[in-house]
A and B are shown apart, each in its own frame.
Chain A
Amino acid sequence: MTRRIPPLPISACTVLSACGPGMQSLLDSFESGQTALRAVRQFDLDFPAFTGEVDAALIPELPQPLRAYNTRNARIALAALDHPQDGVRAAVESAKVRYGAHRIGVVVGTSTSGIYETEQAYNEREQTGQFPASFDFARQHAWVATAHCLQQALELTGPCYAISTACSSSSKTLASAQRLIAAGVCDAVLSGGVDSLCRMTLYGFKSLDIMSETACTPLDRNRSGLSLGEGAGLLLLERPRTDLDDCVHLLGCGESSDAHHMTAPHPDGRGAVLAMQAALQQAAISPAAVDYVNLHATGTRLNDLAEMRAMRRVFPGGVACSATKGFTGHMLGAAGGMETAVSWLSVHHGLRPGCCGLQTPDPEFNFSVNADYEANVPVKVAMNNNFGFGGNNTSLLLGRVHV
């Protein structure tokens, strides 16, 4: 017995990335068209790479009773939660008063959780034979550590779990949050994702030979791979309520698998097609009603090509689309949270980000891409795509319920 899933309001939304803290930093980057990617600084690598590192001030350590969770991942998560203008913490507190702590879920995406600290612990063990006393696997490295940290920081007692499906992790948290609310289990769910740069992913993507040596240029004919970024994108999803009718809403979610390969997408993007179509179907929206698509577009040869083939299938009449990883880098498990926030900005302000770094679109695409920033455009419905290792695909639709 399946229920009709109603559009659900996003009552608060924030990001933290190399572009800076808060939604305004993203808006400023889109307006200026400047990338936040720089030659890698946090790590001493044996190959050239550009990264999107979070420069915003993070608290040096977590207050009690959260101290054991002290990782860069948790510090990024709390800095995002506490961004004053975006007010995610205030929105959660308000939902807690209205519904009760037990009715608010926490579902957080991550690909590597606190591995940055785990790597340091392994280094220390190489020198001394022992992990440092501060190393706490369950509260730092375990995939659910950052979700638990946020749950405790907010003193919530509802369901709490992590989703880790590589680069689609945090898009999938929105789909789970939507179901938790639609099934009546929760009244509000803090969703999104957090990831911090680490050697494992830098050396890992290098081993797959898909790291760009300069700032990545998704969709360009000369694109040469991805650049990694770090940060958070957090969104509070709530049950429908009259006083939230003016909020941007989550209209539909689509999830699928390629059933093809661990790292390469299906060449025709067949799983991506299914995810986009499932999102449209759930929202009961025709492709022609979509005003903007934030592409997954990482900057690798194969991924961008497969996604554009999928776009051609789903949007035969074309649609305005662009990729924003040229600004932030690929934030992996936080990419879905970040890019859902981009869709939120697009609908909320009526804008379409440009495609940072794009000079000449790949002529093989047969589908047109927005290279330049557009402000004051009506965006009633925006879509964002995220595709991960193992052919794990997610597509989300955001929009207004009253226009």
Chain B
Amino acid sequence: MSDALSVNATMGVLGAGVCIPDEALASALQLDDCAVDIAILPPMVRRRTSLATRIAISAASRACAEGGGDLQMPAIFVSAAGEMQVTDRLCQAIAREALPLSPTQFHNSVHNSASAYWSMATGSMASMQAMSALQDCFAMGLLEAMCQLQTQAARLLLVVYDEPMPADLLPEFDWQACAFALLLGAPSKGLPMVSGPFVVDEGNAGDGPASLSSGTPAMAGLPLLQALRNPVTGRHRLPVTTGDDGWTIELQLP
């Protein structure tokens, strides 16, 4: 398992953004500038979108504002359960035969809802990816980002987000609304640089949710975000999963 990703490339971090609407939580995590900010969405859309989409777009906007540059670029959106609050309402409506379903809720229930609203808001006609990998959302998103940067993209946006789960679905879990975004490009002197994800030690990668932890999957990005906010020059090894399967990155700070 130790050589699972012997081929690894370095990416430059051009910008980063976070959205954690719970102010007390954001402050406990020593992260500022975490509020929902969806000014980029048209007013009609703002009212209709889910919390998941709002926090994803807030983090994405912030990372792009920090990094600057053209918004016409590929984006990778990764979420463990995506639009679960909308899906929960639709499942309840079906169980209670409260039909017909709302067409708006139906199209907002797709996993690529946040990426679609981002594409429409920015006018980006580039590839929009929507992925899921439970506790490995950040690790697999970084891997996809690394592969896109290696083969076809000069820069791209990676967004990882989760909203709280509806009651009963994962009763032992307590997911918090959390989103973060990284604007990634070629490595360059003076930029923070991250490696692609790799597995350290004999991990349990591949065991699927057998090792599923109760933590919010998107919070796997917090060690990196905190390190970027309070930079200490040098190389750092950071976990990029909330599971116990060992996905790790190396961060190099100028």
Spell out A's residues near B (CB within 8 Å).
Answer: 1-3, 5, 46, 101-103, 111, 115, 118-119, 122-123, 125-126, 131, 137-139, 141-145, 148-149, 151-152, 156-166, 172, 176, 179-180, 182-185, 199-200, 203-208, 255-263, 270-271, 274, 282, 388-392
Contact = CB atoms under 8 A, between A and B. Distances in A.
Given A125-B95, A183-B146, A208 B107 contact: yes
B7 A184 contact: yes
5 contacts: A122-B94, A142-B134, A157-B4, A158-B4, A256-B127
Contacts of B186: 1
A256 B126 contact: yes
A156 B128 CA distance: 28
Contacts of A2: 150-154
Interface stretch (B18-26, B33-41, B112-120): B112-120
B128 to A, nearest CB: 5
A185 B131 contact: no
Interface string B190-215: 00000010000000011111001000
Contacts of B205: 102, 157
Contacts of A101: 206
B148 interface: yes
Contact of B95 (A123, A157, A161): A123
B112 A389 contact: yes
Interface stretch (B56-64, B98-106, B224-232): B98-106
Interface residues of B, number: 72
Interface of B: 1, 3-5, 7, 9, 74, 80-82, 87, 90-92, 94-96, 99-103, 106-113, 115-117, 119-120, 122-134, 136, 140, 143-144, 146-148, 150-154, 165, 168-170, 186, 196, 205-209, 212
B47 to A, nearest CB: 14
A391 B122 CA distance: 13
Contact of B209 (A111, A142, A205, A260): A142
A43 B147 CA distance: 42
Contacts of B94: 119, 122, 199-200, 203
Contacts of B126: 256-257
Given A142-B81, A257-B119, A207 B102 contact: yes
A163 B130 contact: yes
B144 A259 contact: no
A213 B204 CA distance: 49
Contact of B132 (A131, A142, A183, A203): A142
B90 A204 contact: yes
Nearest to B9: A183
B128 A162 contact: no
A111 B110 contact: yes
A140 to B, nearest CB: 10
